[in-house]
Structure 1
Amino acid sequence: MKSTLYALPVFSARAFPIWRRNFLVWKKLAGASVLGNIADPLITLLAFGYGLGSLLTHVDGIPYIQYLASASICMSIMMAASFEALYSAFSRMHVQKTWEALLNAPLALDDVVVAEMLWAATKALISGVAILCVIFALGIGLHWHTLLVLPLLFLIGMMFASLGLVMNALAKGYDFFTYYFTLVLTPMVFLSGVYYPVAQLPGWLQGIAGVLPLGAAVNLVRPLLLGHWPPTPWLDIAILLAYCVVAFYAATVLTRKRLLN
Structure 2
Amino acid sequence: MTAPAGTPERLRRFETAPVTGIWRHELALYKRYWKSQSFASMVEPTFFLLAFGYGFGSMVAMVGHYRYLDFVATGVVGTAALFTSVFPGMFNGYIRRVFQHTYDAMLAAPVDVHELVTAEASWIAAKSAVYSCTPLVVALFFGLDPAFGMLLVPFVAFFTALGFGLFGMWTSSVVPSINSFDYVITGVVTPLFLIAGTFFPVGALPGWARYTAHLNPLFHCVELVRHAVFGLRPMADLGHLGALVLFAALMWIIAVRGMRRRLID
TM-score, normalisation: structure 2? 0.90
The separation in 2 between residues aligned to 1:59 and 1:112, in whole angstroms, is 43
Q: 1:129-148 counterparts in 2 under 5 A?
A: 129-140=133-144, 142-148=146-152
Deviation at 1:230, TM superposition (A): 6.2
Which residue of structure 2 aligns with residue 81 of structure 1?
85
Q: Does 1:108 align with 2:112?
A: yes
Check if 1:11 corresponds to 2:4: no
Matches of 1:21 and 1:173 in 2, distance apart? 26
Matched residue, 2:24: 20
Percent of aligned positions that are identical: 27
Letter in 2 for 1:122: A
Secondary structure at the aligned position of 1:246 is classed as helix
In structure 2, the CA distance between the partners of 1:26 and 1:226, relative to structure 1 (3 Å rule), is same
Q: Tell me the alpha carbon deviations over residues 130-159 of structure 1, each in whole angstroms, 9 at most, x when there is no partner.
A: 444323333325121111112111111111
Displacement after TM superposition at 1:40 (Å): 1.7
- 2:167 pairs with 1:167: no
Quote how far apart the aligned CAs of 1:127 are. 1.2
Distance change >3 Å, CA 141–CA 107, structure 1 → 2: farther
Deviation per CA, 1:196-221: give whole Å up to 9, x if none: 00111110111111121011111111
CA drift at 1:195 = 0.7
Counterpart among 172, 177, 181 of residue 177 in structure 1: 181
Unpaired stretches in structure 1, ≥5 consecutive residues: 1-8
| Aligned pair partner of 1:149 in 153, 156, 168 | 153
CA distance in 1, matches of 2:133, 2:224: 17
Preserved CA contact (<8 Å) 1:71 1:218:
yes
Instruction: Measure, in 1, the Cα distance between the counterparts of 2:57 and 2:171.
Output: 36
Contact map agreement 2:74 2:136 (CA 8 A) in 1: no
Q: CA deviation at 1:229?
A: 3.6
The separation in 2 between residues aligned to 1:131 and 1:112, in whole angstroms, is 31
Query: Is the 8 Å Cα contact of residues 192 and 198 (structure 1) preserved in structure 2?
Result: yes
Is the contact between residue 145 and residue 227 of structure 1 (CA under 8 Å) also seen in structure 2? yes
Letter in 1 for 2:86: S
Identify which range, 219-228 or 117-126, moves more after superposition.
Answer: 219-228
Structure 2 unaligned runs (5+)? Answer: 1-11
- 1:71 matches 2:75: yes
SS at match of 1:142: coil
Which residue in 2 is equivalent to 1:40? 44
Which has the higher Rg, Structure 1 or Structure 2? 2
Distance in 2 between residues matched to 1:119 and 1:224, nearest whole Å: 24
In the aligned structure 2, how far is the partner of 1:142 from the partner of 1:248? 34
Q: CA RMSD in A?
A: 1.7
| Residue aligning to 2:61 | 57
Q: Secondary structure at the match of 1:103?
A: helix
Could you tell me whether the CA contact under 8 Å between 1:140 and 1:226 is conserved in 2? no
Q: For residue 14 of structure 2, what is the amino acid of its counterpart?
A: F
CA contact (8 A) 2:214 2:220 kept: yes
